[in-house]
Structure 1
Amino acid sequence: MNFRKILQNYTRCYNHKKYWKRRFAIYNPNISRIKKAFYLYYIKRTEGKQGAYLGTKTENGKCNFKDSPILPHGLIGIVISAQSIIGSNCQIGHQVTIGRSKGQSPTIGDNCFIGPGAKIFGGVHIGNNVRIGANCIVCTDIPDNATVVLDKPRIIIKEENYKYSIL
């Protein structure tokens, strides 16, 4: 690791590898309580400096991420409810909100792209390989391999013979 990268991680207060390693470690039952408390302190401090909340709660004993997501802009402004479930290999832009509505939280599949400023609320299920555009507000279920665009959601599904249909 070169000096420039170390300096960037120190000034940004977010080291992706370190953050997610410690985040997944707090759900491991074989780690001592003192180490978990130290890791939780680091996670909350990092989220606080970045203006983010990624649903870190140890009471339920399970993590809401299958794998660490791809965060091209870091943690800046991301808010995710503790009950939501997010699949592996998801890319989440800055200022994204994934929240509860009417006591239910979203479930997001694998290989999804969630654009900057997107909002996802309620007990919706978002399929695999879904692309959600910037500033979209999603309150309905999205099928697999779909694209969601505009602030008033328009779902575009690519069919087998390369024709597009709009739901």
Structure 2
Amino acid sequence: MTGRGKDAPFRYREAIAALTPQLRGFARFLARDATRADDLVQETLLRALEHEASWQDGTDLRAWLFRILRNAFLDQARRSGTERRALGALDADAAQPATQPGIAELGELGRAIAALPAAQREAILLVAALEFTVAEAAAVTGLPEGTLKARVSRARDALARQLGPRR
């Protein structure tokens, strides 16, 4: 922590806390289960706090945290061998009747996103939902920008075909 000043740890932790809702949203899309998502966010925050000294001032903290979250998710997926457990919960949520205008469409979009291949789902969520630039999303995933752009484009095309034209 040399060269950061006395209040740097506080600012670092405050910045992490401010990003927690975005981390939770991304984790929910990755894990497709609220409990698993909360576990992922907790693991991400723990890793970020444990490795506070390796983060460098002036770098993109949001991208760094999202990469930690993504790596934690991949670690869990490797350990468990599958990420399909959450589909039952997603289907149960979708079976509930819509009570407000737009809820049905939102559920339909959620199901369409969930049906995308994992790589496309991750790319479209980072760029479209979480508003990362392509360069930031490429840094999070460790992919070349062109590969990420192609995944976003394929995801958008698949969603357009699946959801069809809107009135």
Range of TM-score over shorter length: under 0.3
Larger RCO (CA within 8 A; separation ≥ 6): 2
Q: Which has the higher strand share?
A: 1
TM-score, length-scaled by structure 2: 0.27
Give the TM-score, by structure 1 length: 0.27
